[in-house]
Amino acid sequence: MGYDMQEGTVVRWLKAEGSQVEMGEAIAEIETDKAVVEFESYASGILHKILVSEGTTVPVGQIIAIVGEPGEQVPDVETATAKQPETKISEEAIPPMAEPDTQAAAPVKESIPAPVATVRASPVARRLADENGVDLAAITGTGPGGRITKDDVLSYVESSRQAVAAPEAGVAGAAEAAPATPAPVAESVSEALGSMTDEAQPAAAPATPAPVAESVSEALGATIDEAQPAAAAIELPAAQAAPTPPPQAATPPPTPTTVEAVPAPEPEVAVTSSAPGTAELRPATQGEKIPLSRMRQQVARVTIRSKQEKPHFYVSSEIDMTEAMALRRQINAAMEAEDVHTTVNDMIITACVQTLGKYPTFNAYYVDDGVQMNDGINVGVAIAVEDGLIMPAILDCGGKSLKQIAIASKDLAERAQRGTLHPDEYTGGTFAISNLGMFDVTSFIAIIQPPQTAVLAVGTVSKRPVVRDDEVVVREVMNATLSADHRIVDGAQGAQFLVEVKRLLETPMNLLL
């Protein structure tokens, strides 16, 4: 489900053993770095055997089930699974395209890889847990089948913070009973923590400050190695341990009522947003190293590959959208009864599809010995989801009308948010459009999605004063920038492509023909 996918998690089996399945029928849901997608059967027949249980993460290439003809002898499980890696699954332990061990076969019970103990959680829930240093095993999931959701993690983090919130007198009282020298240290602890319950304070401070420093870090939510449980094998590496502050100057041995600790910085609360309307709180400290989520790691791999392999060039133009916006209002009024709503992006997609038919090299991709043309036009659309950004494709756009594209675009966006994309939508794009107009962005340039050849970046449609027939008039204008692979097309061809898109949008009746 992508050139760089290395492993996936079997979220749910849609068919039971003994069920009849057809070729192309969804039999399981697989969680990837970006979404939960339906896994389709390669053949028709009977689902004789399921080899991987729900919640198990397995590498690409591992057998997860056996489908055969009715009454057919099921292949020996030992033969079918002896080639699969039996090591504990993790991104570090299993390199891409690793060759399986094909040596002597082991008994059946030993040849089937033992399921890795995992907690069922959504990708965004796992990322939030990593960022907040939360053990998913401690959270009760409220999602389908007990799956942990984003709200479950946020609720757990909030309840944990409330548990350590109390009057500051607990720390202050302990500080008053301390000897003269350690007193300022105790006060600084009080300032750093803000508040703490009496239960959170140790009855007697240990002789060395290190354990107390750990309790301070836990109260702050700091992600130091000593304060966190060991991460599961399938999780990303935990955040790098925070540097241990230097020990305080030598002071008299503390009494049983003394609270001695290394001063800790006051925690900052950072707000991050990965999609419109979503904001996530996490504890952050100055100089902190935040680990990348699985999605951010994939975005890093894709963009690095694109910039290293594809010599990008860019052409930009202003497009007068006045007539297109007027036509859009008329279309939406006419189709209101059908509950069909045409967006600006739908009109841009339609214009690009018609232009790709005229300039098909922009719908191709580069191979070592030439330029490979795609069979159809599949337009990828950048969609912001809860955990980041994905670019699923509207398939077979070549024969679709503006109305059909509007319906397909809405359906694609809704299923992307629910995480129910099909694998071919996830990876089948041949051209892409990235629209940041809803964020009031005037113009920008986009990075090409491999192995595609081009992507069109469009900004907001806004009213601007322009010169028409030697007069200054107000028109609705949009900026568009085409990013293209210079190995396949040249600047002049890029200009011709963009001018054709501009012509279609400025004379929008052509979009309906």
Domain boundaries, the chain: 7-111, 123-291, 310-512
Top-confidence residue, 167 or 316: 316
pLDDT band at 509 (very low <50, low <70, confident <90, very high): very high
Top-confidence residue, 36 or 307: 307
pLDDT value of position 34: 66
Terminal alpha carbon distance of the chain: 36
Torsion sign over Cα 380, 427, 120, 288: negative
What does the block give as tokens for 372?
Answer: 């490979």
Q: Which of 48, 312, 341, 486 is catalytic?
A: 486
Contact by Cβ (8 Å): 378, 395: yes
User: What is the SS3 assignment for 198-213?
Assistant: HHHCCCCCCCCHHHHH
Region 453-463: what's the mean pLDDT?
A: 97
DSSP count for the chain of H helices, then E strands: 13, 20
Top-confidence residue, 123 or 40: 40
What does the block give as tokens for 461?
Answer: 């449609």
Assess whether pLDDT exceeds 90 at residue 87.
no
pLDDT band at 4 (very low <50, low <70, confident <90, very high): low
pLDDT band at 203 (very low <50, low <70, confident <90, very high): very low
486 is catalytic: yes
Contact by Cβ (8 Å): 454, 310: no
Assess whether pLDDT exceeds 60 at residue 37.
yes
The H or E element containing residue 482 is strand 471-485
CA proximity to 159, closest of 139, 141, 142: 139
- Mean pLDDT across the chain: 74
The most confident of the ranges 34-43, 224-233, 249-258 is 34-43
| CATH superfamily name and code, 310-512 | Chloramphenicol acetyltransferase-like domain (3.30.559.10)
pLDDT value of position 445: 96
Instruction: Assign a CATH topology to domain 7-111.
Output: OB fold (Dihydrolipoamide Acetyltransferase, E2P) (2.40.50)
Helix, strand, coil in percent for the chain, rounding step 5? 35, 20, 45
